[in-house]
Structure 1
């Protein structure tokens, strides 16, 4: 089985700090290679992998402002499809754009839909619905207008997340500083609980940051530490009292939720999108409707067994399980395409 793995090129694969899609691609690629699958990773030239690496884009365009995203995305995607005949399957993690190439090659194309950035992109997925294969990353993130071959939850490398049976006293917000992720709501929850809040993540909406977050940063009650790498992430997640995830959108998955639980840290999340598929209310965290319910949930955190948080991830959200699921999907697609040729 020869797989062409198409990663985004916004960031390096794996990312140095932020880059959730690139992180998933890296974890999946390395797990597949460890199983003996022949994988060629199409990613930035500075990417790190045990697979064969093919690259035209020197580095992530989010890391080098001198790179024009459209130019390098076009060069990157065309590189994959111009060599499509070398592979049994192309696994697309690059959103909708590569689908416009898919009918020009005989190699089947599997697209993992990492979420819908806007309903405006749906027409592309609808056009290729009958000729490509789609995987959703949660049951909640499925469009009723599309057909899916499977739902495959993201997985993480458990060795990179240390279980902390005690945790600490601080609440944690770990994600993009953006209205969608509920940074302002996290500050309000912490204020009403009288607990210190540590915030980490890229500033994706600077106006929002200046208006809703910056006025509350005092280094004492609310502390913003920026975007952090894997080593700092492990310690930060494990030492938290709870992760606050007060989202204002239907979260397609939520890697930070799983990563926090892997360290033993319970999660308090607004009950939207995929959250009920990740969090068992009262077992590894709490599903709440609003800030008021989140404040009440903070008081209930001592009732959560941190070992159960870790166990949830070990049983359901490892990179090994993710690779197993995708191998089954690959085989199913190859069986379908072979039968259609006969």
Structure 2
């Protein structure tokens, strides 16, 4: 099968540290190549792949602020669609913008909807509903106004995550520093529990960080380590007593949740969005409704079997299971197109 994989160009593929959409595009590309498929990755020129790399954008515009995002997004997407007829399938990880190019080709376009940044983007998805094929990343993130060919949960390369049976006594927040992710609530949970909190992730809202986070970072009870790469991510997740995920929005998926489980680390998350699809309450973590309940669950965290957390990730969120599901989608589409 000849596949074009369209990755975003905000970050390198795979990302050096942050870049969840680029990460999924990379895992899928490498897995498909390893199974003998011909995959062309459309990504930044500094991207790394065992497939073919097709690039016009020199680097991620979040990593090189001299690049104007819209200019390079247009050049990047148009480059694929001007060559679209050479592929059997186009797999779009670039949100809604590439849909506006789909009339340029008869090649089927699969779009993984990695989440809705705003209800305001729905008109584009609605216009092209039925003309392409939409995949949701959780059942919770489906719009009733759209049709989907499948829900496929993200998978991770389990070999990148070492099982750690004996953690330290600190808690971890791993994600964007933003009110949606509940950084402020994680600080409150750790403070009431009297436990050290390590914060890791990009600062997406500087004003929020300055007001609600920075005053508490003392490099003792609260440590901010910034955005980290794969090696440090593995260490932080494995050493944590628990991952705190007190989200204040309906999380479409939550890669850090399954990455923590892969290290054996249970997750305490607010019960919103996709969390019930990832966490079996009381088995590999706890689903809670507010800070006070999260504090209670921290006290009970040692009742969770860390080996069971790892096994849950292996059973449900491996990269192989994700690839199997996408291949089934591709094959269904191509079979239905045959005369």
Shorter-chain TM band: over 0.9
- Whether the aligned pair in 2 keeps the contact of 1:103 and 1:131 (CA below 8 Å) is no
- 1:183 maps to 183
- 1:303 maps to 303
CA distance in 2, matches of 1:38, 1:149: 23
| Structure 1 residue 236: Cα displacement | 0.5
| Structure 1 residue 60: Cα displacement | 0.3
| Structure 1 residue 307: Cα displacement | 0.3
For structure 2, the residue ranges without an aligned partner over 5 or more in a row are none
CA distance in 2, matches of 1:261, 1:218: 28
1:288 maps to 2:309: no
1:49 maps to 2:49: yes
- Whether the aligned pair in 2 keeps the contact of 1:92 and 1:112 (CA below 8 Å) is yes
| 1:254-309 CA distance string (max 9 Å, x none) | 00000000000000000000000000000000000000100001011010000000
- Whether the aligned pair in 2 keeps the contact of 1:158 and 1:318 (CA below 8 Å) is yes
- 1:34 maps to 34
CA distance in 2, matches of 1:14, 1:130: 30
CA distance in 2, matches of 1:316, 1:163: 16
| 1:203-229 CA distance string (max 9 Å, x none) | 000000001100111111111110111
CA distance in 2, matches of 1:46, 1:218: 36
1:134 maps to 2:134: yes
1:158-177 paired onto structure 2 within 5 Å: 158-177=158-177
- Whether the aligned pair in 2 keeps the contact of 1:125 and 1:146 (CA below 8 Å) is yes
1:211 maps to 2:211: yes
For structure 1, the residue ranges without an aligned partner over 5 or more in a row are none
CA distance in 2, matches of 1:337, 1:252: 31
- 1:245 maps to 245
| Structure 1 residue 336: Cα displacement | 2.2
1:89 maps to 2:89: yes
CA distance in 1, matches of 2:54, 2:130: 29
| Structure 1 residue 104: Cα displacement | 2.1
| Structure 1 residue 95: Cα displacement | 0.2
- Whether the aligned pair in 2 keeps the contact of 1:108 and 1:337 (CA below 8 Å) is no
1:314 maps to 2:314: yes
Q: What TM-score results when the alignment is normalised by the length of structure 1?
A: 0.98
CA distance in 2, matches of 1:30, 1:163: 23
| 1:140-183 CA distance string (max 9 Å, x none) | 00000000000010000011000001111000000000000000
Report the secondary structure of 1:102's partner residue: helix
- Whether the aligned pair in 2 keeps the contact of 1:137 and 1:154 (CA below 8 Å) is yes
1:274-285 paired onto structure 2 within 5 Å: 274-285=274-285
| Structure 1 residue 232: Cα displacement | 0.5
CA distance in 2, matches of 1:302, 1:16: 33
- 2:25 maps to 25
Report the secondary structure of 1:140's partner residue: helix
| Structure 1 residue 15: Cα displacement | 0.3
Q: Structure 1 stretches (4+) deviating beyond 3 angstroms?
A: none
- 2:4 maps to 4
- 2:325 maps to 325
1:144 maps to 2:170: no
Report the secondary structure of 1:41's partner residue: strand
CA distance in 1, matches of 2:129, 2:309: 37
CA distance in 2, matches of 1:336, 1:153: 24
| Structure 1 residue 247: Cα displacement | 0.1
Q: What is the root-mean-square deviation in Å for CA atoms of aligned residues?
A: 0.6
CA distance in 1, matches of 2:288, 2:336: 42
- 2:60 maps to 60
| Structure 1 residue 334: Cα displacement | 1.0
Report the secondary structure of 1:287's partner residue: strand
CA distance in 1, matches of 2:11, 2:69: 11
- 1:114 maps to 114
CA distance in 2, matches of 1:101, 1:335: 24
1:198 maps to 2:205: no
CA distance in 1, matches of 2:302, 2:248: 26
Q: What TM-score results when the alignment is normalised by the length of structure 2?
A: 0.99
